[in-house]
Amino acid sequence: MESFSLLLQGLSTAMEPMILLYALIGVTLGTAVGVLPGIGPALTVALLLPVTYGLDPAGSLIMFAGIYYGGMYGGSTTSILLNTPGESASIVTAIEGNQMARQGRGGPALATAAIGSFVAGLIATLLLAFLAPQVVKLALTLGPREYFALMMLAFVTVSATFGDSALRGLTSLFIGLALACVGIDGLTGAARLTYGVPQLMDGIETTTLAVALFAIGEALAVAAMLDPPDGMHRVKGSVKMTREDWRRSWKAWLRGTFIGFPIGSMPAGGADVASFLSYAAERKLAKHPEEFGHGAIEGVAGPEAANNAAAAGTLVPLLTLGLPTTATAAIMLAGFQQFGLQPGPLLFVMNAELVWGLIASLLIANVMLVVLNLPLIGLWIKLLSIPRPWLYGGILLFATLGTIGVNPSPVELGMLILFGVMGYGMRLYGYPVAPVVVGLILGPMAEQQLRRALAIAQGDWTTLISTPVSAVLLGISAVFLVVPMIMRLRGRGQVLSQVAGDAD
């Protein structure tokens, strides 16, 4: 029950007026970026990183987590009303949700998405609170080789397991790993791939890469599209759900939660994977499977619950092991590092107040979000009436603002443009973007763990598989790499490509 008292202490931190304000800003921004197409939570956190240099660490991190949760809420709105998912975890929601909107049932679809997100967010945050101390205990027994194995698993699941091509996923990952080599080597101080350019000594900024790939790459891709997207479906009638809607929704919410949380908390893909699996489960279990594809409410309730639960689940490895499993988590890790904090087991000892304040404010953020999203839904829909030229002009202005604010050198801006063009090219040819960001952040960490493990074992490579934990983890990584390849070769790859995880 120690979690419980720690959580109560956290709540007292989280109830401080300033912290409440940060949480409110976070969830409001998160909902806004979730609603707006073209910007997701990963990009928003990346944009805000430089702005928060001078602010309170606890408040800033709470704001980032609020953005992550808010993005999951807001994403459903565009999926349902516009059939253009605001972020990747809401792609499945668009299938049934947009059908419901076409039939004039947009209101109940939005309601089941918001309430489902609330239920899932609440349960999953409590699970996070009770699970985290256990994982921390476990984490203290892990050495460099186990961490290295965990990171290998994260690399494989982020790049090769889902999506329609392991080759393209791995290529993205290796581009990220290659970029990660730039800069001073953490263990020996050797300068790698810097070519004497001082700006490259610190390595490639996560913010620059993420902003370029997500914002500039996306803007170029959208601008170059020849087919204009679908029109919007107005919300007719009330957002109230009927008794029948409730009856059909609540089980889907719970199932979504218990599918989403484990997926998020294992290094096995992020919220997009969870939402897809939940959709598949609902479709299998439905009493009226014929309704699927024509606006079945379960197909909105389940995935929306699942993506929120997965977002909370992602925080388990991030906080307890320092292991990001999605692009947003990777950028949040950069946020921790910016304040000199290293997520991992020690964080729970050294900064217990901050961690529990963060977890507790997620509970509060969740309540804020349901209030922001249900009664105020009309306000968010108005955001969608911003003309696209102004919207993308603004996005690019903010995108460059972050880089200019940290380091206004032509080198940094040049890299921003270069990676932006790379992001555009990657989108054109179906290369996922998220593995690049994860590779850039996890790459140096994996290298350090590998070299530490080898130093302990005096250069004996078999040390990597000498403990059961590391051997099993590396084995699972190999399975996740090879099995999907075989599935694709046998023409069973459609399932995997539908789960195509990207962006957030």
Query: Is 26 among the residues that bind other proteins (CB under 8 A)?
Result: no
**CB 34 → other proteins: shortest distance, Å?**
21
Measured between alpha carbons, how far is 499 from 115 in angstroms, rounded to an integer? Answer: 24
Rule CB under 8 A: choose which of 234, 414, 483, 494 binds other proteins. Answer: 414
End-to-end CA distance of the chain: 34
Whichever of 332 and 450 has its CB closer to other proteins, that residue is 450
Q: Applying CB under 8 A, which part among 221-229, 287-295, 310-318, 330-338 lies near other proteins?
A: 221-229
Q: Beta-carbon neighbour count of residue 447 at 10 Å?
A: 18
SS3 sequence of 460-503? CHHHHHCCHHHHHHHHHHHHHHHHHHHHHHCCCCHHHHHCCCCC
Which residues in 32-91 contact other proteins (CB under 8 A)?
50-51, 53-54
178's CB contacts (< 8 A; 6+ apart) are none
**DSSP secondary structure, 312-356, as one string:** HHHHHHHHHH----SHHHHHHHHHHHHTT---SHHHHHHTHHHHH
Beta strands 191-192 and 183-184 are antiparallel
- By CB under 8 A, how many residues form the interface with other proteins? 67
Quick note: the x/- pattern for other proteins over 169-208, rule CB under 8 A, is -xx--xx-xx--x---x-xx-x-xx---------------
Whichever of 370 and 465 has its CB closer to other proteins, that residue is 465
**CB 27 → other proteins: shortest distance, Å?**
20
Return the closest-CA partner of residue 39 out of 398, 313, 333: 398
Q: Beta-carbon neighbour count of residue 303 at 10 Å?
A: 38
At 230, give phi and psi (nearest 5°): -60, 155
**CB 64 → other proteins: shortest distance, Å?**
16
Rule CB under 8 A: choose which of 198, 226, 231, 243 binds other proteins. Answer: 226
Rule CB under 8 A: choose which of 198, 340, 378, 389 binds other proteins. Answer: 389
Measured between alpha carbons, how far is 158 from 211 in angstroms, rounded to an integer? Answer: 19
**CB 230 → other proteins: shortest distance, Å?**
16
Rule CB under 8 A: choose which of 84, 451, 465, 471 binds other proteins. Answer: 451
Which residues in 282-321 contact other proteins (CB under 8 A)?
none
Whichever of 96 and 146 has its CB closer to other proteins, that residue is 146
Whichever of 410 and 491 has its CB closer to other proteins, that residue is 410
Measured between alpha carbons, how far is 400 from 328 in angstroms, rounded to an integer? Answer: 19
3-state secondary structure of 36: coil
Residues that bind other proteins in the complex, under the rule CB under 8 A: 50-51, 53-54, 165, 167, 170-171, 174-175, 177-178, 181, 185, 187-188, 190, 192-193, 216, 219-220, 223-227, 387-390, 392-394, 396-398, 400-401, 404-405, 408, 410, 413-414, 416-418, 420-422, 424-426, 428-431, 447, 450-452, 454-456, 458-459
